[in-house]
Chain A
Amino acid sequence: MSVLVYTESDQGTLKKGALEVASYAKAVADKLGTSVTAVTINTNNTSELAKYGVDKVLNISNEALQAFNAKIYADVIKQAAEKESSQVVILSSSADSKYIAPLLAVNLNAGYASNVIEAPSSTSPFTVKRNAFTNKAFEVSQINTEVKIIGVSSNAFGLVETSGEASAEDFSPSILESDVKVQSVDKVTDKVTIADADIVVSGGRGLKGPENWGMIEELADVLGAATACSKPVSDLGWRPHGEHVGQTGKPVASNLYIAIGISGAIQHLAGVNASKVKLVINTDPEAPFFKAADYGVVGDAFTVVPELIEKLKAFKANQ
């Protein structure tokens, strides 16, 4: 009967998002008066999960699962859900989890609510609040099926520490065959990615050209942040497409979003509004972004950003 949570890892190490979904699963389990089982795939160290409310860990170690394959992963998680007779299965909002969840929903004949931002307000009927209309509204959604799947929006629930122990169990599900094969992966590995970042530093057309991105990267470096950009910037080829955020680009749900030389068009805001705190640096005091921002500096990026970098370096050195 336990709540099942799929906790993702990257090269054997649990992702930060894994701890957040574990925290969420604990909140659901408390409401249902049951325990939390985490299923992990090829994770070296799962001890941290206990701190976030996990009672039991099913660790699957299998070479055949080294490369991500949504269909096979969904099948493995289904087997774990069946083993635990789980009525609720929880995943994150990472690209991989969003790839798995609909396949898992079909496997378990379960209703699936994605982009969920709060613990269920009721478990009978089972209702959750989720982001919809590209962050312009919330939908309160009721899941009617016996088994329920929830995708938790990044940084929405946060990390909740508790104390407890977790038992570990090896789990060896059967592995499907699939003719979906990864041929090559082209990844910039030494950088924080937009999906994982607590802070995102984003530049717009106001930066005038690709040669001016040095200061954006430096600011991101100082803050341990990921870099991003507005759509015209990637369309113009100043920055790679993977950095384009907004409604038609990547969604951003970081703790801090710094928008530099970005006007704040509705399509841009739609994709970044899920960020908790927004700082805008723009020469134009009428730029629409100031209406959506928490903090703002009306000023020229070319003077403000270098100064901010120096001041942040000094601040970090004193920490």
Chain B
Amino acid sequence: MKILVCISHVPDTTSKINFTDGDTKFDTNGVQFVINPNDEFGLTRAMWFKEKQGANITVVNVGGPETEPTLRKALAIGADAAIRVNTEATDGFTVAKQLAKVATDGNFDLIIAGRESIDYNGGMVPGMIAGLINANFVNNCIGLEVEGTTTTATREIDGGKETISATLPLVIGGQKGLVEESDLRIPNMRGIMMARKKPLTVAEPVESNPETTSVKFEKPAPKGAVKLVSEDNLDELINLLHNEAKVI
């Protein structure tokens, strides 16, 4: 089985979010970048397939050279090869088109992406890849088994979960649940050494006009101070929630 794992290079979850250039660009100053948490679950699930039933894993990222350390980390975790599509990831549709091209060229059976990246939160790339290559698609995927060309996927739904069967090729939008968090891997020294010898190919992008453009960014207005209510005065709390906030 050939697996393609899409890796988004995102600011670490604790990063302070700031903008530069008249609030038109994300300020990367002092920000540490990591593998998107949803993608990390997907990569670990791919490793499980590789170790338990044999699979070849390619990781791919659409982005500039600054994203290569993130791809190297994925190689150190155990992916076999990496591809970086050499263009700035400016909008979800464009990214999906680049990834769809890689998926088609490489004839992948299973394409694992995260349900959304924690920077732009578009939540569109996995579904768009599936649409573009006409593959089956399971979103919010929290469990996946593959047997031959048949897959059984579990998907989180409002208030529960759903089990789905579908044939390969399949694209999933994965998330926490695909593997246990305790199974997530930290690259070890041997992995890091081996990663240096693994191929990281730079592919040129397909031409695409952006469907959407970021015009600018804004930060939420500073919050007013919390209104503290004494624990001996819960009637006042109910009064505030009812008459002031109008939420009960």
A residues neighboring B (CB under 8 Å): 70-71, 74, 94-96, 98-99, 101-103, 105-107, 110-115, 127, 129, 131-134, 136-145, 178-189, 191, 193-196, 198-199, 223, 235, 241-242, 244, 247-249, 255-256, 266-267, 270, 273, 276-277, 279-280, 290-300, 303-304, 307-308, 311-312, 315
CB of A112 within 8 A of CB of B227, answer: no
Interfacial chain B residues near A181, Cβ < 8 Å: 164-166
Given A293-B226, A297-B229, A299-B231; A144-B220 close (CB under 8 Å): no
How distant is B126 from chain A, measured CB to nearest CB, in Å?
Answer: 7
Given A141-B215, A247-B118; A308-B248 close (CB under 8 Å): no
Given A138-B220, A277-B247, A304-B231; A193-B176 close (CB under 8 Å): no
B residues neighboring A (CB under 8 Å): 11, 13-14, 17, 19, 37-38, 91-93, 96, 118-128, 130-132, 136-140, 142, 152, 156-167, 175-177, 181, 209-220, 223-224, 226-231, 234-235, 237-238, 240-242, 245, 247-248
**Contacting residue for B217 out of A137, A244, A280, CB 8 A:** A137
The answer for the CA separation of A181 and B228 in the assembled complex, in Å, is 51
CB of A137 within 8 A of CB of B218, answer: yes
Interfacial chain A residues near B37, Cβ < 8 Å: 247-248
How distant is A113 from chain B, measured CB to nearest CB, in Å?
Answer: 6
CB of B217 within 8 A of CB of A307, answer: no
CB of A140 within 8 A of CB of B216, answer: yes
How distant is A96 from chain B, measured CB to nearest CB, in Å?
Answer: 8
CB of A139 within 8 A of CB of B213, answer: no
Interfacial chain B residues near A134, Cβ < 8 Å: 118, 121
- Extra pairs beyond A99-B137, A193-B158, A312-B238 (6, CB < 8 Å): A132-B119, A143-B211, A144-B211, A185-B160, A293-B226, A297-B229
How distant is B213 from chain A, measured CB to nearest CB, in Å?
Answer: 5
**Contacting residue for A193 out of B159, B166, B237, CB 8 A:** B159
Tell me the nearest residue of chain B to A140, going by C-beta: B215
**Contacting residue for A297 out of B139, B160, B228, CB 8 A:** B228
Interfacial chain A residues near B122, Cβ < 8 Å: 112, 114
The answer for the CA separation of A287 and B161 in the assembled complex, in Å, is 33
CB of B238 within 8 A of CB of A311, answer: yes
CB of A242 within 8 A of CB of B128, answer: no
CB of A297 within 8 A of CB of B214, answer: no
Interfacial chain B residues near A256, Cβ < 8 Å: 241, 245, 247-248
How distant is A297 from chain B, measured CB to nearest CB, in Å?
Answer: 5
CB of A270 within 8 A of CB of B164, answer: no
**Contacting residue for B177 out of A131, A241, A300, CB 8 A:** A241
CB of A114 within 8 A of CB of B123, answer: yes
Interfacial chain A residues near B118, Cβ < 8 Å: 133-134, 247, 270
**Contacting residue for A296 out of B93, B142, B214, B229, CB 8 A:** B229
Interfacial chain B residues near A198, Cβ < 8 Å: 247
Interfacial chain B residues near A249, Cβ < 8 Å: 176
CB of B210 within 8 A of CB of A99, answer: no
CB of B157 within 8 A of CB of A295, answer: no
How distant is B129 from chain A, measured CB to nearest CB, in Å?
Answer: 9
**Contacting residue for A276 out of B161, B211, B247, CB 8 A:** B247
How distant is B241 from chain A, measured CB to nearest CB, in Å?
Answer: 7
